[in-house]
Chain A
Amino acid sequence: MEAYHKLNPHEWVNKYSDELFGFAYIRVGDEETARDLIQDTFLSALRNLESFKGEISEKNWLYLILKNKIIDHYRKNSKTQLTRIDDEQDNDEFFDESGHWKKDALPNPFNQSFNNQQHSFEFYEILEKCKRKLNEMQLSLFSMKFIDEIDSEEICKELEISSSNYWVLIHRIKLKIRKCIEKLFYGK
Chain B
Amino acid sequence: MENKSNTNKLMITCKEATMLSVQKAEINLSFSDRFRLFVHLMICQYCRLFDKQTKMINKILSKWETDKKLSDIEKNTLQNIIEQEIK
Contacts and interface: CB of A to CB of B under 8 A. Distances in A.
A25 interface: yes
B64 A124 contact: yes
- Tell me the interface secondary structure of chain B in the complex: helix
Contacts, number: 126
A151 to B, nearest CB: 9
B1 A166 contact: yes
Contacts of A31: 68
Given A100-B13, A124-B66, A147-B64, A13 B58 contact: no
Interface residues of A, number: 56
Given A178-B57, A181-B53, 6 more contacts: A13-B75, A18-B69, A22-B65, A101-B46, A123-B60, A177-B57
Identify the 8 closest CB pairs spanning chains A and B, nearest first: A99-B13, A99-B15, A146-B61, A95-B15, A107-B49, A18-B69, A13-B79, A22-B66
Interface of A: 9-10, 12-14, 17-18, 21-22, 25-26, 31, 34-35, 38-39, 42-43, 46-47, 92, 94-95, 98-101, 106-110, 118-119, 121, 123-124, 127, 146-147, 149, 152-153, 156, 163-164, 166-167, 170-171, 174-175, 177-178, 181-182
Interface of B: 1-4, 13-16, 18-19, 22-23, 26-27, 46-47, 49-50, 53-54, 56-58, 60-70, 74-75, 78-79, 81-83, 85-86
